[in-house]
Structure 1
Amino acid sequence: MKYGIALFPSKKLQDIVNSYRKRYDPHYALIPPHLTLKNAFESSDDKIKEISSHLREIASSVNPFTLQVLKVSSFSPVNNVIYLKVDSTTELTELHTRFHQEPFDTSTAEYSFVPHITIGQKLSDDEHSDVLGQLKMESFTHKEEIDRFHLLYQLENGSWTVYETFRLGKGQS
């Protein structure tokens, strides 16, 4: 089965992001707005129990943190993805790093870690240029506290759902 690890922003930020995603992101119906901490990986039922236990340990050792959206940006020319740039905190970097060590798949990621929340993807060059130019004129500053991350799994229809939630900080689970 395919799994992934992500955090979900507040409903307020999700509503703002979804107002664009429904037009510019073909994955809109498959998963709510999120920040990916570990891309999709395959795991067996037995292995995922070990991974869940490890995730609890990681969660208890990382404190809640402030997620801060800085601006709209793009991965162009590598690909036509438009996203909200998220400030790279120590906690976000630590989570990402630890999710790429044993017992997780430790193969090198295709791209370096850029904390972000996708607004649009798979856009034509012209549409990408148009939408990015329009969004760069708007202000997208936002701050909120993040106190949990989620282990997700993919359903047969391609959508993602929460398998387990992990609260950050000592004494949490």
Structure 2
Amino acid sequence: MKYGIAIFPSKPVQDEINSYRKRYDPHYALIPPHLTLKEAFEADDDTIYELITELKHIANEQEPFTININKVSTFAPVTNTIYLKVEPIQELDDLFDKMQTGKFPKNMEYNFVPHITIAQKLSHDEYSDVFGSMQMKDIKLQDTVDRFQLLYQLENGSWTVYDSFVFGKEYV
């Protein structure tokens, strides 16, 4: 089965981000707005149970933190993906790093750029128009992060939560 690990912003922040995503992100119906901590990977049941133990340990040691989302950016020319930049902070970097070591699969394709995708798979002309108009928006979002989610992919391509890991909670 295919799994991933992500942070979902609060509902008000998701609603704001979805107002941009619904028109330009073909994955809009497949997964809510999210910040990816671990790219999609394959795992069997035994492996996932081992990883859940690791994820509980990581969550136990983590305190809630605040993220700031305040800029539209792009991965062009590599891809015509437009995203909201999440200001880099040590807590995010540390969480990401912990999920790239130990028993976690070594599947990191790109350097970690904290972001929430709002548009992807656009034609070149559409990308230019959307990015140009999005850059003019004054986006200032702030959110408190107090958990992350282990997700799995369904047969229809959508992603759903397998388990949530609340920061500072004592898992057994």
Q: Do they fold alike, i.e. is TM over 0.5?
A: yes
Contact 2:13 2:143 in 1 (8 A): no
Unpaired runs of 5+ residues, structure 2, are none
User: Are the counterparts in 2 of residues 60 and 170 from structure 1 also a CA contact under 8 Å?
Assistant: yes
CA-CA distance at 1:63 after TM superposition: 1.3
Show the counterpart of 1:42: 42
Give deviations 1:91-150, integer Å, cap 9, x for gaps. Answer: 11011101001211124x221100000000000111111111101111111111100000
Residue 169 of structure 1 and its aligned partner are, at CA, apart by 2.2
Measure, in 2, the Cα distance between the counterparts of 1:138 and 1:79: 21
| Paired letter, 1:36 | T
Find the counterpart in structure 1 of residue 149 from structure 2: 150
Q: CA deviation at 1:171?
A: 3.4
Counterpart of 1:93 in structure 2 is: 93
1:12 corresponds in structure 2 to 12
Residue aligning to 2:73:
73
1:114 equivalent in structure 2: 113
Corresponding letter in the other structure for 1:143 = Q
CA RMSD, aligned part only? 1.2
What is the identity percentage for the equivalent residue pairs of Structure 1 and Structure 2? 59
TM-score of the superposed pair, with normalisation by structure 2: 0.96
* Alpha-carbon distance in 2 for matches of 1:43, 1:14: 28
**Shift of residue 156, structure 1, vs aligned partner:** 0.7
Give the distance between the partners of 1:135 and 1:12, measured in 2 at CA.
19
The residue aligned with 1:82 is 82
In the superposition, the TM-score normalised over structure 1's length comes to 0.96
Give the residue type in structure 2 aligned to 1:127.
E
Tell me which stretches of 4 or more aligned residues in structure 1 moved more than 6 Å: none
Partners in 1 of 2:171 and 2:82 — Cα distance? 34
Aligned to 1:33: 33
Tell me the matched-pair count. Answer: 172
Counterpart for residue 127 of structure 1: 126
Shift of 1:47: 1.0
- Assess if the C-alpha contact under 8 Å between 1:63 and 1:170 holds in 2: no
Cα displacement string for residues 66-110 of structure 1 (whole angstroms, at most 9, x for unaligned residues): 011021111111110000000111111011101001211124x22
Q: Deviation string for 1:31-84 (max 9, x for gaps)?
A: 000000000000001111110011000111121110110211111111100000
SS of equivalent residue, structure 2 residue 3: strand
Write the deviation string for residues 18-41 of structure 1: whole angstroms up to 9, x where unpaired. 112111011111000000000000
User: For the residues of structure 1 that align with 2:158 and 2:11, how far apart are their CA atoms?
Assistant: 19
Helix, strand or coil for the counterpart of 1:21? Answer: helix
